[in-house]
Amino acid sequence: MARMKSYGSQLFLPLSVLAILILVNLIKGSSYFSISIINGALYGNIPNILFGASELVILAIGMTLVTSSAGSQDLSVGVAATITSAVFVWVLLSAGKITWITILAAFLASCVVGILIGTFNGALVAALNVQPIVATLIVYTAGRSIAFLIDGKLSPILANNLTYEIGSEIPGVPIQTPIILTAVFVVLFAVLLRTTNLKLYSQSVGINQRAARLNGINPVRIKFLAFMIMGVCTAVAGFIAVTKAGRHDSVNLLKDIEMDAILAVAIGGSSLYGGKFSITGSIIGAYTIEVLNRTLLRLDVDPDAIKAFKAVFIIILMVIASPAVRELAGNGTKWVRDRLGGAVQIPTAIGEDAAVDPKSDISAKKEV
Amino acid sequence: MESTNTIKRRERVSDSNLLFAIAAVIFVLMYGFGILSFPRDFLQSQTFFDLFNLNAPLIIVTLGLSIVMVGGGIDISVGQVTALVTMCCAVFLQSRSGSVGGAMLLALGIGIAFGLLQGLLIAYLKIQPFIITLAGMFLASGLLTIIHKDPINVTMPSFVRLMDFQIVIPSLGTLNRLGRFIPLEIKPGTVVVLVLVVVLVILMNWSRFGRNLYAVGGNNQSALMLGINVQRTKFYSYVLSGLLSGIAGFVFIMTTGAGNVGNAYGFEIKAIAGSIIGGTMLIGGVGNLIGSPFGALTLLTINELIRADGVNSDFQAIASGMLLCVFIVLQNAVLRLRGTSSFKLALPGWLVPARRDR
């Protein structure tokens, strides 16, 4: 029964965290959900959150897939996105005239580079059996310098209408373009997972590689594929980030985003050791991180000190979701149910009870 | 037939020692290459000892990380804990009640506190080490900016005396370009590194904790079946890593004499790279602690070579990445070939350590 419920409880944790954060925001000021229209575009907290988290969502999706099949994480995502966006800017600026066609061509070029980086990582991980964190450390170490070499240390500026429209909003469309692009990407990815066996295959490779192999799935190919899809994700994220910023800054573009992307996967309830995953959970996790950042800013926390609060938040979240506490909570629920003789229906999803009130469950356990 | 087989088995090098041998040989080759191409810089014994003098904190952090990695975990908080320790020590030393001994205790205390917290959560609550130490890294860097944002120079007299203290060995000195004789100078950090290497190698190879940690890293389940307290062993490994970060922080401030937000930036990645080059594997159970300093030194030597060559500094990072790539591929190729047993290591008999490791 717990097994059947486990998928529901997987989403319950990120959703309840999100709900608590929104509640805190509502207590702070009731105008949290208000949306105003300025120059035909929507402004407000929710559009800002969707706008701010767009790259993180895309990278978290790719990270989920890599985590699931390879059983470890890709550290190079932020750096790889810096390289792909450097290529994007370089192609665009050397094309001279900026039109929709050149933007498309530059984007495709950056996708190709992203896939190449993915192939490099994938070759090390899948063919040579290197641990993914170790393998992606190579690109992580060298990447920003490579981006420097591509953009010539000049942090080139994208000052024109078309890239501005991609990075913020198209006149007449009320929703900012990065939000639309993210939504399109998520929908495309959902279609990919629905129509192909990718999810099943990568989960089975992640759970037991030998068993997958014996069932006719090629683990090498699946891992390769995961890293190549990750490459496309980095290219899209880099594209959005650089059009948002309007300039290519090799040092600070998407800095430390790999940590947030991994965190999003963990908050979303997928195991960081591979296997079963939930893309929805990772997306919610990514938005939760963005909401958390903005909530801390709203509570007048010093921007430099945000990291410490974030750390405390992560630790609390991980303790609640940890196997030991879950087991304890499960035992507690069982004890309560036994005492009540099944007269009262208690929600049995393990994670739920842990999240709602872990303390009372622990004390209940102690009484036994 | 039977007996020859057992003899062969005994002579077989363990993975740990083989990877260590590769790291050591490559370091020696690289240093030799440095001597050949830039004799003026690399023939000075001061250049060699400066690798230790200036990078003692990184080497200490690498040692701590290697211990955790042997146990099959990872600790990415090491760099920021080191930075936090330097800042706390700087603030404490500049305060009215500051003393050098107190600062040392403070450094060790902060390191152990982080080690205890992380070890508790990872070993006993079974949370993924990457996420917990990521949180530890965020916590340390957040606390660092809360405590103080601007760089502080320590001007306390007794500390400055400690900072300027050097062991001078005239017999290894060199003549500088003006023809003046400069004796070799060794900073206290170097001594700390050497002592720690000796102590930790003994701990890992001949103590119960060390052998248990190799067993736990190699296979959790069978270690448990052998009656090893897996949780406690893991817990100790994180505490040890935290303690070493604390020591690294104190050595750092002893070297630079200033607390700064940017101190020890990127140490975690450099330390992971150094451990890997030194032959520690992230999957656990494989690694030789003498290799870790060699790994860190290899990484530093290649940067030194590039600096001596005077090319674009961007190539330092790219070269580090390529070096890492070469090592990873080499290690995996060697281990895989050994696995198929069609590959016999062509080491002369006297080079093969007699002791069987695992």
CATH of the domain at B158: 1.10.3470
Q: How far is A322 from chain B (nearest CA, A)?
A: 6
Q: Is residue A112 part of a domain?
A: yes
Which of B66, B281, B313, B325 is the best substitution to test chain A (most A C-beta atoms within 10 A)?
B325
Domain check: are A331 and A298 in the same one? no
Provide the pLDDT confidence category of residue A353 given band limits of 50, 70 and 90.
Answer: very low
The answer to whether residues A297 and A331 belong to one domain is no
What's the rounded Cα separation, in Å, for the pair A265 and B156?
47
Judgement on whether residues A210 and A336 belong to the same structural domain of the protein:
no
Q: Which two three-digit tokens encode residue A49?
A: 């959150």
Domain end: A275, A304, A333, which one?
Answer: A304
The 3-class secondary structure across chain A, one letter per residue, is CHHHHHHHHHHHHHHHHHHHHHHHHHHHCHHHHCEEEECCEEEEHHHHHHHHCHHHHHHHHHHHHHHHHHCCCCCCHHHHHHHHHHHHHHHHHHCCCCCHHHHHHHHHHHHHHHHHHHHHHHHHHHHCCCCHHHHHHHHHHHHHHHHHHHHCCCCCECCCHHHHHHHCCCCCCCCCHHHHHHHHHHHHHHHHHHHCCHHHHHHHHHHCHHHHHHCCCCHHHHHHHHHHHHHHHHHHHHHHHHHHHCECCCCCCCCCHHHHHHHHHHHCCCCCCCCCCCHHHHHHHHHHHHHHHHHHHHCCCCHHHHHHHHHHHHHHHHHHHCHHHHHHHHHHHHHHHHHHCCCCCCCCCHHHHHHHCHHHHHHHHHHC
Flag if B328 and A302 touch (Cβ within 8 Å): no
Which of A130, A144, A311 lies at the smallest CB-CB distance from B328?
A: A130
pLDDT at A123 over 80: yes
Q: Which residues contact A194 (CB under 8 A, 6 or more apart)?
A: none
One domain, residues A220 and A350: no
Q: Do residues A125 and A170 both lie within one domain?
A: yes
B168 strand-pairing partners: B185
Chain A residues in contact with B267 by the CB 8 A cut-off are none
Q: Classify residue A32: in a domain, yes or no.
A: no
Residue B173: CB partners within 8 Å, gap ≥ 6? B45, B46, B181, B182, B183, B184
Nearest CA among B325, B5, B73, B201 for reference residue A134: B325
Tell me if B142 and A310 make a contact (CB, 8 A cut-off).
yes
Q: Are A258 and A60 in contact, with CB atoms under 8 Å apart? A: no
Using CA coordinates, name the residue in chain A closest to B282. A131
Mean pLDDT of B172-185: 70
CB < 8 Å to A137, chain B? 269, 272-273, 276, 324
Q: Which domain holds residue A96?
A: 49-304
Name the minimum distance, in Å, from the CA of B316 to any CA of chain A. 8
Q: Specify which of A50-64, A289-303, B44-58, B307-321 reaches the highest per-range mean pLDDT.
A: A50-64
Q: Is the pLDDT of residue B75 over 80?
A: yes
- The predicted-structure confidence for A231-275, as pLDDT tens digits, reads as follows 999 999 999 999 988 888 888 888 889 888 988 998 888 888 888
E runs forming strands in chain B: 152-153, 167-175, 181-186, 258-259
Residues B81-88 have a mean pLDDT of 94
Residue A263 lies in a domain: yes
Best mutation target, A83, A119, A128, A145, to test chain B (most B CBs within 10 A): A145
Neighbours of B171 (CB within 10 A): 7
Cβ <8 Å between A138 and B328: yes
> Token match 């594209």: residue?
A239
Total count of domains within chain B: 1
Structural domain contains residue B241: yes
Contact A141 B273 (CB under 8 A): yes
Q: Mark out chain B residues that contact chain A at CB-CB < 8 A.
A: 74, 121, 124-128, 130-132, 134-139, 141-143, 145-146, 149, 269, 272-273, 276, 281-283, 314-318, 320-322, 324-325, 328-329, 332-333, 336
Kindly report which listed range (A156-160, A325-329, B12-16) carries the lowest average pLDDT score.
B12-16
- Residues of chain A in contact with residue B283, where contact means CB-CB under 8 angstroms, are 131
Kindly report the average pLDDT of chain B as a whole number: 83
Q: Is residue A42 a part of any domain in this protein?
A: no
Residue A141 shares a structural domain with residue A168: yes
Distance (Å, rounded) from C-alpha A288 to C-alpha A263?
Answer: 10
CA closest to A138 among chain B residues: B321
The answer as to whether A89 is a domain residue is: yes
Compute the average pLDDT of residues B156-183: 76
User: What is the pLDDT at residue A3?
Assistant: 41
What is the share, in percent, of chain A residues with pLDDT greater than 70? 89
Regarding whether A186 and A56 lie in a shared domain, the answer is: yes
Q: Is residue A17 assigned to a domain?
A: no
The mean pLDDT of B302-328, rounded to a whole number, is: 80
Q: Same structural domain for residues A356 and A299?
A: no
Q: Which two tokens stand for residue B227?
A: 């009656």
Residues of A with Cβ-Cβ distance to B136 under 8 angstroms: 311
Q: Which residues of B touch A130 (CB under 8 A)?
A: 328-329, 332
- Average of per-residue pLDDT across B15-39: 84
CA distances from B228 to A128, A240, B214 (A): 32, 51, 11
Residue A355 confidence (pLDDT) above 60: no
Find chain B residues with C-beta within 8 A of A323's C-beta.
Answer: 125-126
Chain A residues inside the 8 Å CB shell of B324: 137-138, 141
By CA distance, what is A251's nearest residue in B? B314
Flag whether B309 is in a domain. Answer: yes
A314 interaction partners in chain B (CB closer than 8 Å): 131, 134-135, 138
pLDDT tens, position by position, A190-221: 999 999 999 999 999 999 989 999 999 999 99
Backbone φ and ψ of A176, nearest 5°: -65, 145
Mean pLDDT lowest among A79-83, B62-66, B88-92, B160-164: B160-164
Q: Is the pLDDT reported for residue A67 higher than 80?
A: yes
Cβ of A138 and B324 within 8 Å? yes
pLDDT for the residue numbered A333: 84
Residue B240 or residue A255, greater confidence: B240
Predicted confidence at residue A87, as pLDDT, reads 93
Considering only residues B8 and B39, tell me which one the structure prediction assigns the higher pLDDT.
Answer: B39
Residues A203 and A336 placed together within one structural domain of the fold: no
Count Cβ–Cβ pairs < 8 Å, chain A vs chain B: 132
pLDDT of A33 above 50: yes
Task: Tell me the shortest Cα–Cα distance from A342 to chain B, in angstroms.
Answer: 30
CB contact under 8 A, A140 and B269: yes
> Cα–Cα distance between B276 and B164 in angstroms, integer?
34
Give the pLDDT of residue B57. Answer: 93
Q: What is the nearest CA distance from A185 to chain B, expressed in angstroms?
A: 27
Instruction: Provide the percentage of residues in chain B whose pLDDT is more than 70.
Output: 88
In a domain, B357, yes or no: no
Q: What is the DSSP letter of B310?
A: T
- CB-CB under 8 Å, A308 with B135: no
ipTM for the predicted complex: 0.78
Nearest by Cα to A269 from A287, A290, A284, A258: A284
A264 contact residues in B (CB cutoff 8 A): none
Same-domain check for residues A231 and A345: no
Query: Is A215 contained in some domain?
Result: yes
- 3-class SS shares of chain B: helix, strand, coil, % to 5: 70, 5, 25
Tell me: do A264 and A347 sit in the same domain.
no
Name the residue in chain B with its Cα closest to that of A131. B282
Residue A1 lies in a domain: no
Chain B residues close to A142, C-beta within 8 Å: 317-318, 320-322
pLDDT, one tens digit per residue, over B246-259 is 999 999 998 888 88
Give Cβ neighbours of residue B243 (< 8 Å, ≥ 6 apart): B64, B108, B111, B112, B115
**CA B275, B281, B282, B288 torsion-angle sign:** negative
Q: Choose among A124, A146, A308: nearest Cβ to B138.
A: A308
- Which stretch of DSSP H or E encloses residue B301? helix B291-309
Q: Are residues A138 and A283 in the same domain?
A: yes
**Residues of B in Cβ contact (< 8 Å) with A315:** 121, 132, 135, 139
Provide the number of structural domains found in chain A: 2
Mutate to test the interface with B, among A262, A307, A322 (most CBs of B within 10 A): A307
pLDDT digits (tens, 9 = 90+) for A310-351: 888 888 888 887 777 878 888 888 888 888 865 555 554 444
| Confidence at residue A4, expressed as pLDDT on a 0 to 100 scale | 39
Residue A352 has pLDDT above 60, yes or no: no
Domain that holds residue B176: 15-338
| Residue B159 near residue B90 (C-beta atoms within 8 A) | no
The amino acid present at B31, given as its one-letter code, is Y
Q: Which two tokens stand for residue B232?
A: 């406690």
Least confident of A253-262, B40-49, B263-272, B285-294: B40-49
What are the chain A neighbours of B137 within 8 Å (beta carbons)? Answer: 311
Distance from CA of A302 to the nearest CA of B (A): 8
